[in-house]
């Protein structure tokens, strides 16, 4: 079963092959728009089953049919036809930076180059030296591009990219004077993974800033270097783009570089209908030739007659329509959070003591937090049973009093393969909060996993379902289950679903959190910290929540302690 991301990839493949086949620009661009739409949509498998995929923006009759085929069979008629003209292996040639569809199509039809291996062989044999408009510099760039392609990791997880971005910023700030600087692109939109790092800044010394940037010692290569813009490559293939403009254009610049691409296209299409041309250089009034420049991003959206659109919502779905109607949701913010329900200590697999974690939680200004060490689980060395929990309770009371924060006792209890829990109900009943998670038997069938999770929701003591999909960037793709069935069960039983902010997880991902909200589910944003320094990972959970369009009312830990305890009690008493 193909995931949304995989289907989006197939649509982009169709788009690329159509361009090579000489189809019209707008025809293949429609596939690109549809692919972006699919990325942010709820699971297509379920949409297609309900016939609702045709409601996705950019998906009409033709593309809708292709999506249906991809969902049911994993392939599409149209793709097969295109494969008759161009081999699938030609796609990898386009992965080489500097080679686009025109060049790839030319290399294939004129020189029979059908794969990356063919291209390497042709370069080595020198057969391309006689090709018109192909000089030695281009060939050298391709060689470098091939190396980068081979060494390139997949898209970089957001937390990792952010750490690198901060190092670049430190380098930039040590250079020529800057006025304002910000992360842009997918990093600012809090996408779960980023393809490259975009940074914008304003300065009166653009050329010097660019030069300083290009000389960053960690840069493996400088891809492009112009008067206002440069791109570098790090070893491993991550690309960093910097754009520098004068400060009075900061709003236009930030808006432009934050994207997404689809958001900008839609925004500009809308602007054109109002005789306005939007770019990073300002908003040009096509009627009177005046240029509106904006010192902040709010000004850009205001000039277009709409509400400010938070970066996390700029996906190109329906945010522009909502902003025009002034009906965008008011998104949750970090400052709204009053606590964190998921963290570990040295009582189980955490690195820091309960006291240290409590002090750190208090230092973040929380009203409450929950210590949720693991249950004993299968062969877990430090997991906690009834006795350990009882002893831990005394330590919690002492720490809570010392740091002036309400420390709740929780457990991250394993959901066993049959959906029962690793601790007995009478033990769970003594806890303030219960986070239930799947850690074992993750290869169960979709049906088994669905049953298992629903049964966990039905336990009156389960407050929160932890990292619900089980995916991890470093190891696991996660397990499959029927999202609709489980989310409906969570809503029905008053069980919250977690958005786990741990760097390797970010689970639930935003499209699923959005789906959960549509079922009326309450979400809990957690750090899943195993050391004091990781409590800040809750920010990543906030990012996903914002992408999902969640507001304060949707988030359990944006509520007061009394309201949280009432949420817990309501479920316990309802059963």
Binding site for DNA (CB under 7 A): 24, 26-27, 29-31, 33-34, 57-64, 94, 96-104, 132-138, 141, 185, 196, 198, 224-231, 239, 241, 257, 259, 261, 264-265, 268-269, 271-274, 277-281, 284, 321, 324-325
CA distances (Å), origin 395, targets 47, 358, 493: 49, 11, 32
Of 131 and 488, nearer to DNA (C-beta) is 131
Planar angle of CA 87, 92, 98, nearest 5 degrees:
120
CB of 50 to DNA, least distance (A): 17
Residue 401's CB is within 10 A of a number of other CB atoms, namely 11
CB of 241 to DNA, least distance (A): 6
Longest dimension (CA), the chain: 81
Of 294 and 449, nearer to DNA (C-beta) is 294
DSSP per-residue string spanning 523-571:
EEEE--BSSGGGGGGHHHHHHHHHHTT--GGGBGGGS-HHHHHHHHHHH
Of 309 and 508, nearer to DNA (C-beta) is 309
CB of 132 to DNA, least distance (A): 6
> Is residue 179 within 8 Å of residue 128, measured between CB atoms?
no
Of 242 and 535, nearer to DNA (C-beta) is 242
CB of 288 to DNA, least distance (A): 15
CB of 36 to DNA, least distance (A): 12
Q: Is the peptide bond before 508 cis (omega within 30 degrees of 0)?
A: yes
CB of 69 to DNA, least distance (A): 13
Of 181 and 441, nearer to DNA (C-beta) is 181
Helix/strand/coil for 503:
coil
DSSP per-residue string spanning 456-489:
HHHSTT--EE-STT---SSS-------HHHHHHH
Exposed/middle/buried for residue 417 (C-beta within 10 Å: 0-12, 13-18, 19+): middle
CB of 346 to DNA, least distance (A): 44
> Is residue 448 within 8 Å of residue 418, measured between CB atoms?
no
Helix/strand/coil for 219:
strand
Angle between helices 510-518 and 483-493 (to 10 degrees): 50
CB of 72 to DNA, least distance (A): 17
Residue-wise burial string across 457-476, b where 16 or more C-beta atoms lie within 10 A, e elsewhere: bebbbbbbbbbbbbbbbeee
Of 62 and 560, nearer to DNA (C-beta) is 62
CB of 491 to DNA, least distance (A): 29
Residue-wise burial string across 2-27, b where 16 or more C-beta atoms lie within 10 A, e elsewhere: bebeebbbbbbbbbbbbbbeebeeee
CB of 105 to DNA, least distance (A): 8
DSSP-derived letter for residue 334 is G
> Is residue 313 within 8 Å of residue 339, measured between CB atoms?
no
- From start to end of 380-456, where are the E strands? 406-414, 433-437
CB of 100 to DNA, least distance (A): 2
CB of 561 to DNA, least distance (A): 42
> Is residue 220 within 8 Å of residue 262, measured between CB atoms?
no
State both tokens at 48: 């297609």
CB of 111 to DNA, least distance (A): 14
Where do we find the tokens 């940074």? Answer: 199
Of 101 and 372, nearer to DNA (C-beta) is 101
Q: How far apart are the first and last CA of the chain?
A: 36
> Is residue 297 within 8 Å of residue 306, measured between CB atoms?
no
Per the document, the length of the chain is: 575
Of 65 and 485, nearer to DNA (C-beta) is 65
Of 237 and 494, nearer to DNA (C-beta) is 237
């Amino acid at each position: 079963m193909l995931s949304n991301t995989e289907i989006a990839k197939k649509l982009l493949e169709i788009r690329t092959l159509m361009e090579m086949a000489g189809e019209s620009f707008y025809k293949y661009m429609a596939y690109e728009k549809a692919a972006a739409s699919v990325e942010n949509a709820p699971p297509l498998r379920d949409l297609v089953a309900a016939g609702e995929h045709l409601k996705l923006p950019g998906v009409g009759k033709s593309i809708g049919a292709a999506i249906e085929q991809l969902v049911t069979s994993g392939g599409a008629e149209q793709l097969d036809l295109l494969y008759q003209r161009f081999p699938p292996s030609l796609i990898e040639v386009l992965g080489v930076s500097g080679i686009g569809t025109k060049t790839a199509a030319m290399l294939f039809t004129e020189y029979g180059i059908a794969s990356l291996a063919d291209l390497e062989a042709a370069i080595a044999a020198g057969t391309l030296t006689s090709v018109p408009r192909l000089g030695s510099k281009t060939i050298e760039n391709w060689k470098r591009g091939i190396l980068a392609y081979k060494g390139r990791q997949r898209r970089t997880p957001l937390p990792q990219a952010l750490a690198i971005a901060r190092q670049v910023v430190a380098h930039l700030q040590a250079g020529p004077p800057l006025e304002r600087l910000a992360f842009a692109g997918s990093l600012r939109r809090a996408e779960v993974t980023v393809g490259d790092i975009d940074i914008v800044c304003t300065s009166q010394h653009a050329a010097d800033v660019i030069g300083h940037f290009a000389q960053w010692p960690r840069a493996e290569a400088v891809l492009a270097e112009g008067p206002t813009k440069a791109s570098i490559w790090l070893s491993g293939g991550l690309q960093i783009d910097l754009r520098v403009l004068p400060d009075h254009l900061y709003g236009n610049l930030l808006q432009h570089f934050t994207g997404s691409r689809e958001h900008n296209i839609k925004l500009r299409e809308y602007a054109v209908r109002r005789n306005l041309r939007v770019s990073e250089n300002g908003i040009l009034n096509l009627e009177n030739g005046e240029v509106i420049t904006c010192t902040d991003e709010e000004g850009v959206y205001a000039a277009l007659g709409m509400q400010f659109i938070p970066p996390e919502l700029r996906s190109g779905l329906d945010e522009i329509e909502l902003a025009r109607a002034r009906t965008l949701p008011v998104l949750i913010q970090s400052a709204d959070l009053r606590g964190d329900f998921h963290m570990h200590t040295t009582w189980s697999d955490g690195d820091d003591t309960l006291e240290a974690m409590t002090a750190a939680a208090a230092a973040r200004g929380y009203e409450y937090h929950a210590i949720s060490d693991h249950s004993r689980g299968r062969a877990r060395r430090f997991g906690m049973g009834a006795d350990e929990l009882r002893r831990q309770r005394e330590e919690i009371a002492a720490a809570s009093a010392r740091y002036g924060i309400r420390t709740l006792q929780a457990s991250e209890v394993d959901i066993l393969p049959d959906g029962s829990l690793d601790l007995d109900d009478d033990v769970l009943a003594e806890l303030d909060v219960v986070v239930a998670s799947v850690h074992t038997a993750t290869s169960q069938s979709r049906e088994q996993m669905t049953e298992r999770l629903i049964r966990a929701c039905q336990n009156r003591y389960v407050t929160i379902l932890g990292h619900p999909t089980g995916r991890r960037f470093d190891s696991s793709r996660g397990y499959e289950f029927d999202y609709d069935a489980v989310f409906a069960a969570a809503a029905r039983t008053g069980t919250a679903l977690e958005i786990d902010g741990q760097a390797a997880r970010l689970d639930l991902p935003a499209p699923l959190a959005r789906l959960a909200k549509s079922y009326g589910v309450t979400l809990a944003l957690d750090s899943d910290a195993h050391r004091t320094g990781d409590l800040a990972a809750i920010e990543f959970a906030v990012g996903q929540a914002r992408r999902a369009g969640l507001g304060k009312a949707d988030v359990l830990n944006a509520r007061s302690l009394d309201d949280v305890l009432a949420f817990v009690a309501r479920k316990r008493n309802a059963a």
